[in-house]
Structure 1
Amino acid sequence: MTDQNPSAPTPPPLPPQSAAEAARAADPDDTGVPGVAGDAGDVGRGFLSALFDLSFRTFITRRLASVFYFVGLVAIGIGFLVYFVGGIIDALSVMWLNVGAGVSGLVATVIVVPVLTFLAIILLRFVIEAVVALIAIAENTERTAQHTRR
């Protein structure tokens, strides 16, 4: 006689490979952005050929997203400095004629300019993420369409 209970459930079958092997085989970067492989000159050639691709089969937006974000942050920072310093100077100059208007302008500058700058940074990030997500969807859809054609 065996000690096994015939009503006990049997364990499910094991997968053909271990989890560690599956993790090594899977692409850890599932963003769809092509990795840098080979010579650095190859990356530049790929970028230039994508830049002048008149059929728009290759997207460069994902490669340039960080550059766009950095340039946008610099532009927002310059705008912040211009409006903040200009607002303070204007408020101080108005204070000579009307103290209440000068103080109001100073308080408005100190509160409104940083808040609008913060909102501009959020909006910039939102727009760039939305464009990158849209490009990722387009690339993944194209990849799916290529794999389903037979």
Structure 2
Amino acid sequence: MNKITRRQALGTTAGALTVLGLAGATAYAADTDSRAAISAGNAANAGPAGTAGTAGTIDEVYQGRRIQITPATGGAHHGGHHSAGLPAVRIDGRELHVMQNADGTWISVVNHYETFSDPLSLARAAVRELQGAALVPMGGM
């Protein structure tokens, strides 16, 4: 009778897991490369910032999502969610809550641990992170 030894079973299992790990890493790398190519293409086709409206207003379509940024108003708005002086950032008409750090960088509820140099780059990163999902209103869910 041919019996498999414990050493042979462990060797076969280790080999199979290695093959699966390499296949997963290869698939991840290919997906990352394709996303980078898509992002580069979208950035190239995004057009100039502030394509419509008054000075400082941005209205553009990025990766199929509409980004609108209007300059800050004088007081708190939307039920006091924001402090005075923050621009209104909207993705597909839904407000993206943003905050400016003391060093001048920007964060949002979507990318809370990643900082951005301006609200437009923050909104574009939020669109990429959402991957097609809609923004959900904060608070009154």
Which has the larger share of strand? 2
Name the larger-Rg structure: 1
* TM above 0.5: no
What TM-score do the two structures reach when normalised by structure 2?
0.31
Query: Relative to total residues, which structure has the larger helix share, 1 or 2?
Result: 1
TM-score (norm 1): 0.29
